[in-house]
Amino acid sequence: MWREGYVPGGDTRFWVRAMGHGDDLVVLLHGWPEDGTMWRRVAPMLVDAGYRVVCPDLKGFGRSDKPRRGYDPETLGDEISQLIRNLHVKKAVVVGHDWGGAVALATAFRHPGRVRSLVLASAPYRQLDLRSAWHIPLMNLPVLPELAFRRAAAPLIRRAFEHAAVVQEPFTDEVVEHYAAAISARPSAWLSYYRSLSRRALLEGTVGRARVLLPFANPRSSPPRLRVPTLVVWGEDDPVTKAELAPVVAADLDAELVVIPGVGHFVPEEDPLAFVRAIVSRIGEAPSKRGSEVTA
């Protein structure tokens, strides 16, 4: 049974859905165009493995606060760290898909003491291929994206799922309409992820390439070292963040890599059982429940 309500993280109120009990916490951070309900099939399996699970709507999405500012990685990471503290635990397993992965990564870099383990799903790090992620420049246009998603969120989201997901069954009309309602209220808020985080990633990627190509450039081109155990999960047939990016991301983060066959970009929804098994096999079951089998 879900428990729902607001929990503060810094100056932002996060609408959270929680399931399970205890101090062994997993925080699940969704991506675009979803909200916390995207974890509806993943969360019960993690609870069966002994974890308490919390699924917030990210800032700017769903029922969480939608301020005009504060979508830089530093602020986003600080807020999730404070959210974890306000959930009355010292640290949590933090799982992020898509933009949720970027927020999870910012949290782990800035507050490693709050993150027991990190799991990134279809979340590029220092890697953006705009030939496949061609929607990112479109999201950076002024005015037009806001108007489009205010007036036609449902058909645009439907098209996104048709393009990016191999397994279409999870994305029923009811699910699409729910997500459309979650992002159409104030599109300028969640568009800030594209207009802040994607520009930062592109800049860092450009600088990194310049350091390799230019002999007189600063030679420090290696990524900063992440100080928490990390798992990278990817869909083998992801057409948006293609699977060839996954080994590079895993290498940059000194992370383990699991590539799940037969799925696209929305791994946790397309194959939730394989996703949970990948997580539990590496981070382990909660200390309170060792040795049980994760089942659908």
Q: State pLDDT tens for residues 10-35.
A: 999 999 999 999 999 999 999 999 99
pLDDT the model gives residue 50: 94
- In Å, how far are 123, 126, 150, 175, 205 from 198, measured between CA atoms? 12, 10, 22, 27, 10
Percentage above 70 pLDDT, the chain = 83
Q: Model-level pTM?
A: 0.88
Q: Give me the half-sphere count of Cα atoms (radius 13 Å) on the Cβ side of residue 30.
A: 30
- Burial (CB < 10 A; 0-12, 13-18, 19+), residue 58, is buried
Residue 51: its pLDDT value, please?
96
Bridge partners, residue 121, by sequence: 97, 233
Alpha carbons 31 and 8: distance in angstroms, whole number: 20
Task: State which residues of the chain have pLDDT below 70.
Answer: 127-138, 197-223, 289-296
Q: How far apart are CA 91 and CA 104, in angstroms?
A: 13
Alpha-carbon gap, residue 166 to 240, rounded angstroms: 12
Contact 117, 139 (CB under 8 A): no
pLDDT of residue 45: 97
pLDDT of the residue at 140 = 74
In this prediction, residue 52 carries a pLDDT of 97
Q: How many CB atoms lie within 10 A of CB 63?
A: 18
pLDDT for the residue 206: 41
Domains for the chain: give ranges and CATH numbers.
Answer: 3-283 (3.40.50.1820)
Amino acid at 59: K
